[in-house]
């Protein structure tokens, strides 16, 4: 009896049908010709990074202890004593950084090619939810290292949440488990980081991809029409990107490994405390305007961005004009993001 | 340009912009996790000082040092330490500002914040210029300019300032970083505690403590605080660990005299009475030191080690008694003379004198060899107790007595002419059965005094008992000594001597081979070409 027969006895499914479905869904998935251009096929990058983060995260969780007494020490142990621990930790850190950058790139491509337009508005919103989830998982993960930088980044980050109108106090208490960042915060962040957020991100990615497949990949105007099958050409592209990412992250880990910093000291507030770099633009904006107003404005901007697929048609009835508004708004937003991030980086 | 092209250009340009700029930002931020440069907030006055110093290029590296300091992190700038009042001895009007600044902050300034540390220091022997009381006339041998960058540089540690404060904090705490790691580095102590008269850094370096530090110390964080009675965080002690740092039971102190039981730098070793009203007796001070030792060592080891070192100090006194006897006798017999001018003596036959051989031998036997002998024994510097210690002391003694014999002293002539081996112990002895290192089975079969004197240990016991009764040894030390005395065959290893004969004979056979080899290869070698001098004859 062959293995295939042995398996068929125990899993009596229509194997031929299974192969057919697999071929239709994956192998022969029609990929529009414009996806041959690298610049227009960046959405897979965060998707490739996710399993890498999960694998390295599981390995880190073998050693990490989420308590104020042990968190820093266990990160030090991972970095300095566990075999290849520095590489796993560096990979996880750089993987998180690249995931955020790649999501920005993907969003930019979607925005400039109008891929959020009807009937794909829902997927744009799902994508936005994914961005928030990824920022939250990065924020909670960064705080777990429990050094001075991360401890005070957690403090300043949760302080921003406190400014949310009406529910700010409740939210920050829920996040911190008390008045300030303590052992309760650490266990909450740990639970969010290793369990709830990865589950939500995976669910949202599944929804993101199902919606994508239901509608098919959007086909921007002005490109050659036609399709090619997912396998082998696009599949090879994914393999190349995967190998490139592994090499790039490994290189970054070796050249620029994340340090340990100084152990967190809740009694010693540094003169200059900052959140992680991906919040710099928001952080600087909030420093420039009164905090309550700033939070309201940020909330408004975020709402406009989330619901942009529904707002855009209201901006103009002419397609050309809408396109120009799209390019100008997108370009300006990116330039402001970059400028604010750099300004906050170089400021003391 | 069609829409597709515009989109591609936009995506291309912004992709590059986003990737490059955000990767640079991520890199800068990750580097911060590896940098431990403290964040500092520079106040307006300090900013003015820094700007001007940088413009004029005056001591700019000190600004970097300050930026690394905990002072900088805590917001303590230039003026907090360098503020002066009109009439202060070091007040100076800064030429580029209206600031009246103190050129040299003194311990009085440091005490504004570090009151306890300055007070502890002022009560230590670091702050005590004892040589000015008893040895001021040594300056006849060394001219003043030589002492400026010699004696005075190190003894600045106990300087009495015009403002009445005592000491110089930056002798150990390098200005302006005041880095704890620098202060704790053995080389900081070794800036002064070095050389033939008190080679403490050399002793430390040759000790096991020093060896471990030299091997592994580069990886240790030496900038730790010990104020909270926390465990010693380093694997082996540096100087500061034993003399100043705290452990679980001992608080940290800036009084380096708080844990010393001897005045073993002095011409005679004596149990310290320094600041007894605050620091307690020598026994209390010894307990403090032992409490630090016990962080790493078993009590029995350190108690045995230290009582042995104590007996070395007492033995030194008996050796010194010989030198004092001879220089006094030679002075009384007018074979040597004291330096004298205007009715005042400038040398002392029992302390110093430099123009005659016995005086120099006596001086060296105290100030150089005598200290090395004692300090080596206290700090595990075997070579300094042995070759730079007792060996040199014995040489000094032989040379002194030989000089006396050459100059007609009958007693010295008799000593020189004597063939009896016990001539090299013309003083009373101390001893202890065995050592802290373990049980030796053969070592104690060789000393001449053991073989020549059946009552050796009874005589030694009488000496040790005498010093114990005089309070120079503590009760538990005497008990420890007696325990060893009563079991001396065990501690001396003599009862095991015959048990190890097979091992002993193995090495004896090897020794015979060695002896045979050097006789054949060297002693019996007879070259055919005789010496050129011999041919001349």
pLDDT in tens, B374-426: 999 999 999 999 999 999 999 999 999 999 999 999 999 999 999 999 999 99
**pLDDT value, residue B2:** 77
Domains and CATH numbers, chain A: 44-346 (1.20.810.10)
A93–B30 CB contact, under 8 Å: yes
Closest C-alpha to B482, from B445, B441, B429, B433: B433
Query: Is residue B71 a contact partner of residue B62, using CB atoms and an 8 Å limit?
Result: no
Torsion of CA A336, A339, A341, A344, to 10 degrees: -120
A149–B21 CB contact, under 8 Å: no
Closest C-alpha to A143, from A48, A64, A84, A58: A64
**Residue recorded with tokens 């990490």:** A64
**Residue recorded with tokens 């050659």:** A224
Q: What residue of B is the nearest CA neighbor of A257?
A: B30
B18–A342 CB contact, under 8 Å: no
Query: What is the distance in angstroms between the Cα of A72 and the nearest Cα belonging to chain B?
Result: 13
B29–A345 CB contact, under 8 Å: yes
Q: Tell me if residue A72 falls in helix, strand or coil.
A: helix
How far, CA to CA in Å, does B451 sit from each of B448, B455, B457?
5, 10, 11
Q: B44-56 vs B60-68: helix axis angle to the nearest 10?
A: 140
Instruction: Determine if the peptide bond prior to B123 is cis (ω within 30°).
Output: no
Q: Which of B14, B19, B39 sits opposite A331 (nearest CB)?
A: B14
Q: What DSSP line would sit under B207-276, residue for residue? A: SHHHHHHHHHGGGS------TT-PPP-SSS--HHHHHT---SSS---S-TTTT--EE-SSSS-EE--TTH
Query: What is the distance in angstroms between the Cα of B9 and the nearest Cα belonging to chain A?
Result: 10
Tell me which residues of chain B have a pLDDT lower than 70. 1, 36-39, 134-139, 228, 537
B4–A147 CB contact, under 8 Å: no
Beta-ladder partners of A328: none
Chain B residues with CB under 8 Å of A42 CB are 15
Burial A288-302 (b: 16+ CB within 10 A, else e): eeeeeebbeebeeee
Whether B37 contacts chain A with CB within 8 A: no
**Residue recorded with tokens 């009042």:** B85
Closest C-alpha to A235, from A6, A7, A28, A19: A28
Q: Tell me if residue A126 falls in helix, strand or coil.
A: helix
**Residue recorded with tokens 């829920």:** A174
Mutant choice from A75, A79, A94, A271 vs B, greatest count of B C-beta within 10 A: A271
Query: How high is the ipTM of this complex?
Result: 0.89
Chain A residues with CB under 8 Å of B15 CB are 39, 42, 105, 108
Number of A to B CB contacts under 8 A, please give it: 101
pLDDT by residue for chain A (348 residues), tens only, comes to 788 888 888 988 888 888 888 888 888 888 888 888 888 888 889 999 999 999 999 999 999 999 999 999 999 999 999 999 999 999 999 999 999 999 999 999 999 999 999 899 999 999 999 999 999 999 999 999 999 888 998 998 888 888 888 888 898 999 899 888 889 999 999 999 999 999 999 999 999 999 998 888 888 888 888 899 888 989 999 999 999 999 999 999 999 999 998 888 887 777 677 888 999 999 999 889 988 888 889 999 999 999 999 999 999 889 889 999 999 999 999 999 999 999 999 886
**pLDDT value, residue B38:** 66
Q: What stretch of H or E contains B344? A: strand B344-345
Chain A residues with CB under 8 Å of B8 CB are 37, 39-40
Separation of alpha carbons B72 and A271, rounded Å: 12
Query: Is residue A36 a contact partner of residue A217, using CB atoms and an 8 Å limit?
Result: no
Q: What residue of A is the nearest CA neighbor of B35?
A: A261
How far, CA to CA in Å, does B529 sit from each of B447, B520, B521?
43, 19, 17
| Long-range CB contacts (within 8 A, 24+) of B460-464 | B460/B429, B460/B430, B460/B431, B461/B485, B463/B428, B463/B429, B463/B430, B464/B311, B464/B430, B464/B432
| Residue B349 CB partners (closer than 8 Å, separation 6+) | B327, B328, B330, B331, B336, B338, B359, B362
User: Could you read off the pLDDT of B123-180 as tens digits, one per residue?
Assistant: 999 999 887 776 555 668 888 888 889 888 999 999 999 999 999 999 999 999 999 9
**pLDDT value, residue B135:** 56
Chain B residues with CB under 8 Å of A259 CB are 30-35
Whether A225 contacts chain B with CB within 8 A: no
């Amino acid at each position: 009896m062959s293995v295939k027969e042995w398996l068929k006895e125990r899993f009596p499914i229509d194997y031929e049908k299974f192969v057919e479905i697999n071929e239709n869904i994956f192998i022969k998935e029609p990929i529009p010709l414009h996806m041959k251009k690298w610049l227009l096929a960046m959405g897979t990058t965060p998707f490739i990074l996710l399993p890498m983060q999960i694998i390295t995260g599981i390995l880190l969780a073998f050693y990490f202890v989420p308590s104020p007494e042990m968190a820093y020490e266990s990160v030090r142990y991972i970095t300095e004593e566990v075999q290849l621990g520095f590489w796993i930790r560096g990979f996880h850190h750089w993987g998180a950084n690249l995931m955020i950058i790649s999501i920005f790139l993907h969003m930019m491509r979607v925005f400039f090619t109008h891929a959020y337009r009807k009937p794909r508005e829902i997927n744009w919103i799902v994508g936005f939810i994914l961005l928030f989830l990824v920022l939250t998982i990065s924020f909670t993960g960064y705080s777990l290292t429990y050094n001075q930088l991360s401890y005070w980044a957690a403090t300043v980050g949760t302080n921003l949440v406190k400014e949310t109108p009406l529910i700010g106090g409740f939210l920050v208490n829920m996040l911190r488990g008390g008045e300030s960042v303590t052992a309760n915060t650490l266990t909450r962040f740990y639970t969010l980081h290793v369990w709830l957020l990865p589950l939500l991100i995976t669910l949202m990615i599944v929804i993101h991809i199902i919606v994508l497949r239901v509608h098919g990949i959007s086909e921007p105007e002005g490109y050659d029409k036609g399709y090619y099958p997912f396998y082998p050409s696009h599949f090879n592209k994914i393999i190349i990107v995967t190998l490139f990412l592994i090499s790039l992250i490994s290189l970054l880990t070796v050249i620029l490994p994340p340090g340990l910093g100084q152990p967190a000291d809740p009694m010693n507030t540094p003169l200059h405390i900052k959140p992680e770099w991906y919040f710099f633009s928001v952080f600087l904006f909030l420093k420039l305007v009164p905090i309550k107003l700033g939070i309201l404005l940020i909330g408004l901007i975020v709402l406009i961005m989330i619901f942009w697929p529904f707002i855009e048609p209201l901006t103009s009835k002419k397609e050309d004009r809408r396109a120009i508004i799209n390019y100008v708004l997108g370009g300006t937003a990116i330039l402001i993001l970059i400028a604010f991030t750099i300004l906050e980086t170089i400021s003391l | 340009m069609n829409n597709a092209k515009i989109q591609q250009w936009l995506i291309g340009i912004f992709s590059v912009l986003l990737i490059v700029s955000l990767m640079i930002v991520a890199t800068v931020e990750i580097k911060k996790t590896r940098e431990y440069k403290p964040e500092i907030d520079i106040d307006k006055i300090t900013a003015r000082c820094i700007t001007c110093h940088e413009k004029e290029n005056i001591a700019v590296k000190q600004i970097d040092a300050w930026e690394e300091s905990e002072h900088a992190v805590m917001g303590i700038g230039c003026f907090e330490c360098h503020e002066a009042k009109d009439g202060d001895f070091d007040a100076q009007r800064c030429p580029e500002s209206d600031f009246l600044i103190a050129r040299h902050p003194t311990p009085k300034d440091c005490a504004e914040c570090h009151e306890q540390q300055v007070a502890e220091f002022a009560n230590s022997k670091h702050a005590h210029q004892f040589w000015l009381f008893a040895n001021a006339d040594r300056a006849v041998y060394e001219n003043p300019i030589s002492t400026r960058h010699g004696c005075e540089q190190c003894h600045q540690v106990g300087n009495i300032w015009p403002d009445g404060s005592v000491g110089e904090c930056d002798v150990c705490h390098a200005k302006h970083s005041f880095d704890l790691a620098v202060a704790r580095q053995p080389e900081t102590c070794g800036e002064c505690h070095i050389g033939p008269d008190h080679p403490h850094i050399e002793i430390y370096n040759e000790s096991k403590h020093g060896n471990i530090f030299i091997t592994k110390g580069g990886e240790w964080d030496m900038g730790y605080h010990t104020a909270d009675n926390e465990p010693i965080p380093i694997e082996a002690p540096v100087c500061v660990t034993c003399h100043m740092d705290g452990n679980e039971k001992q608080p940290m102190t800036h009084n380096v005299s708080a844990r010393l039981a001897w005045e073993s730098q002095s011409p005679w070793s004596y149990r310290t009475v320094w600041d007894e009203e605050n620091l307690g007796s020598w026994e209390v001070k010894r307990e403090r030191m032992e409490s630090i030792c016990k962080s790493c060592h078993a009590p029995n080891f350190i108690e045995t080690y230290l009582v042995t070192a104590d007996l070395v100090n007492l033995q030194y006194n008996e050796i010194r008694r010989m030198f004092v006897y001879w220089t006094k006798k030679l002075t009384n017999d007018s074979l040597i003379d004291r330096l004298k001018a205007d009715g005042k003596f400038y040398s002392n036959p029992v302390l110093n004198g430099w123009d005659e051989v016995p005086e120099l031998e006596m001086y060296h036997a105290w100030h150089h060899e005598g200290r090395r002998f004692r300090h080596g024994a206290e700090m595990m510097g075997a070579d300094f107790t042995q070759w730079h210690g007792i060996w040199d002391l014995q040489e000094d003694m032989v040379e002194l007595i030989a000089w006396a014999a050459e100059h007609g002293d009958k007693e010295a002539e008799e000593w020189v002419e004597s063939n009896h081996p016990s001539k090299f112990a013309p003083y009373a002895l101390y001893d202890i059965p065995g050592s802290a290192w373990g049980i030796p089975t053969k070592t104690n079969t060789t000393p001449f005094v053991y073989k020549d004197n059946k009552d050796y240990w009874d005589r030694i016991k009488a000496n040790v008992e005498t010093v114990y009764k005089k309070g120079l040894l503590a009760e538990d030390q005497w008990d420890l000594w007696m325990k060893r005395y009563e079991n001396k065959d065990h501690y001396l290893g003599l009862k095991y001597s015959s048990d190890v004969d097979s091992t002993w004979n193995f090495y004896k056979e090897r020794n015979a081979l060695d002896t045979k080899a050097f006789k054949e290869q060297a002693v019996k070698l007879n070259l055919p070409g005789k010496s050129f001098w011999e041919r001349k004859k």
